[in-house]
Amino acid sequence: MSNSPNAVPARLNLAQQQAVNHLHGPCLVLAGAGSGKTRVITHKIARLIQTGIPADRIVAITFTNKAAAEMRERARGLIGAAVRDAVICTFHALGVRMLRQDGSALGLKSGFSILDSDDVCAILKDAGGTVDAATARQWQWTISLWKNMGLNAERAAQAANDEDQARVARVMAHYEERLLAYQAVDFDDLIGLPLRLLREHESVRTRWQSRMGHVLVDEYQDTNATQYELLRLLVAGRAPREARFTAVGDDDQSIYGWRGATLDNLRKLPVDFPELQVIKLEQNYRSTGAILRAANRVIGPNPKLFVKSLWSELGEGEPVRVVEADHEDHEAERAVARIQSLRAGTLATAGSQALEYRNFAILYRANHQARPFEKALRRAQIPYRVTGGTSLFDRTEIKDLCSWFRLWINADDDPAFLRAVTTPRRGIGHQTLQQLGAFAGRYKVSLFEALYAPSLGLTLPARSVAGLHEFGRAVDSWRQRAGQAEGEAAATAFLRDWLQDIGYEAHLRDTEDSPTLAQARWANVTDFCEWMAARCGGRIEDPSGLAGPQKVKSLLDVAQTISLLSTLGEREQDPNQVTLSTLHAAKGLEWPHVLMVGVNEGLLPFRADEEATESAQSARLEEERRLMYVGITRAQSSLAVSWSRRRKRGRDQVASSPSRFIAEMALDAATTREDPREKLRALRAEFARRSALAVPAGDSA
What is the per-residue binding string for ligand ATP in 626-665, x denoting contact by CB under 6 A?
A: -------x--------------------------------
Least Å distance, CB 76 to ligand ATP, is 16
Establish if 39 lies at the interface with ligand ATP (CB under 6 A): yes
Vertex 365 angle, CA 367 and 330, to 5°: 85
Establish if 306 lies at the interface with ligand ATP (CB under 6 A): no
Given Mg ion, ligand ATP, none, residue 308, with its beta carbon under 5 to 8 Å by kind, binds none
Does the annotation count 253 as an active-site position?
Answer: yes
User: Considering 16, 62, 90, 253, which one is annotated as catalytic?
Assistant: 253
Q: Which is nearer to Mg ion, 148 or 253 (CB)?
A: 253
Does the annotation count 551 as an active-site position?
Answer: no
Given Mg ion, ligand ATP, none, residue 33, with its beta carbon under 5 to 8 Å by kind, binds ligand ATP
Pairing of strands 360-364, 578-582: parallel
User: Residue from 15, 20, 33, 525 that binds ligand ATP (CB under 6 A)?
Assistant: 33
Least Å distance, CB 37 to Mg ion, is 5
Show contacts of 622-625: CB within 8 Å, 24+ apart: 622/302, 622/303, 623/254, 623/255, 623/257, 623/258, 625/298, 625/299, 625/301, 625/302, 625/661
Number of residues that bind Mg ion (CB under 5 A): 3
Number of residues assigned to the chain: 701
Evaluate the CA torsion angle 73, 88, 392, 5 in order and state its sign: negative
Residue 452 and residue 473 in contact, taking contact as beta carbons nearer than 8 Å: no
User: Considering 70, 102, 218, 624, which one is annotated as catalytic?
Assistant: 218
Establish if 250 lies at the interface with ligand ATP (CB under 6 A): yes
Given Mg ion, ligand ATP, none, residue 12, with its beta carbon under 5 to 8 Å by kind, binds ligand ATP
Q: Which stretch binds ligand ATP (CB under 6 A): 27-35, 223-231, 375-383, 638-646?
A: 27-35
Q: Which stretch binds ligand ATP (CB under 6 A): 12-20, 84-92, 545-553, 652-660?
A: 12-20
Q: Report the site for ligand ATP in 521-550 (rule: CB under 6 A).
A: none
Which stretches within 650-700 are classed as H helix? 660-664, 669-672, 676-691
Q: Which stretch binds ligand ATP (CB under 6 A): 32-40, 53-61, 422-430, 596-604?
A: 32-40
Does the annotation count 218 as an active-site position?
Answer: yes
Least Å distance, CB 30 to ligand ATP, is 10
Distance separating alpha carbons of residues 33 and 680, to the nearest angstrom? 36
Least Å distance, CB 618 to ligand ATP, is 24
State the first-to-last Cα distance of the chain, in angstroms, to the nearest integer.
41
Integer CA distances (angstroms), 593 to 487, 515, 628, 634, in order: 41, 40, 16, 9
Does the annotation count 634 as an active-site position?
Answer: yes
Does the annotation count 37 as an active-site position?
Answer: yes
Q: Using CB atoms, what's the residue nearest to ligand ATP?
A: 36
Establish if 12 lies at the interface with ligand ATP (CB under 6 A): yes
Is residue 155 within a helix (H) or strand (E), and if so which, with residue range? helix 153-159
Residue 557 and residue 397 in contact, taking contact as beta carbons nearer than 8 Å: no
User: Considering 188, 219, 397, 623, which one is annotated as catalytic?
Assistant: 219
Distance separating alpha carbons of residues 172 and 129, to the nearest angstrom? 12
Backbone angles phi, psi at 145, to 5 degrees: -65, -45
Chain centre to alpha carbon of residue 18: 31
User: Residue from 20, 26, 30, 36 that binds ligand ATP (CB under 6 A)?
Assistant: 36
Does the annotation count 219 as an active-site position?
Answer: yes
- Strand runs (DSSP E) across 560-659, as ranges? 578-582, 591-596, 635-644, 646-649, 652-655
Distance separating alpha carbons of residues 469 and 452, to the nearest angstrom? 7
Residue 253 and residue 282 in contact, taking contact as beta carbons nearer than 8 Å: no
DSSP assignment letter at 113: E
Establish if 588 lies at the interface with Mg ion (CB under 5 A): yes
Given ligand ATP, Mg ion, none, residue 557, with its beta carbon under 5 to 8 Å by kind, binds none
Least Å distance, CB 638 to Mg ion, is 21
Establish if 74 lies at the interface with ligand ATP (CB under 6 A): no
User: Considering 634, 636, 647, 674, which one is annotated as catalytic?
Assistant: 634
User: Residue from 16, 359, 554, 579 that binds ligand ATP (CB under 6 A)?
Assistant: 16
Establish if 32 lies at the interface with Mg ion (CB under 5 A): no
User: Residue from 38, 288, 544, 659 that binds Mg ion (CB under 5 A)?
Assistant: 38
Q: Which stretch binds ligand ATP (CB under 6 A): 37-45, 172-180, 393-401, 654-662?
A: 37-45
Distance separating alpha carbons of residues 346 and 355, to the nearest angstrom? 12
Q: H helices then E strands: how many in the chain? A: 29, 18
Residue 185, CA atoms < 13 Å, CB-side half-sphere:
24
Distance separating alpha carbons of residues 501 and 602, to the nearest angstrom? 52
Give the bridge partners for 77, in sequence order. Answer: none
Least Å distance, CB 218 to ligand ATP, is 7
Interface with ligand ATP by CB under 6 A: which residues?
A: 2, 4, 11-13, 16, 31, 33-39, 250, 253, 285-286, 588, 590, 633
Interface with Mg ion by CB under 5 A: which residues?
A: 37-38, 588
For the annotated catalytic residues, the residue numbers are 37-38, 218-219, 253, 634
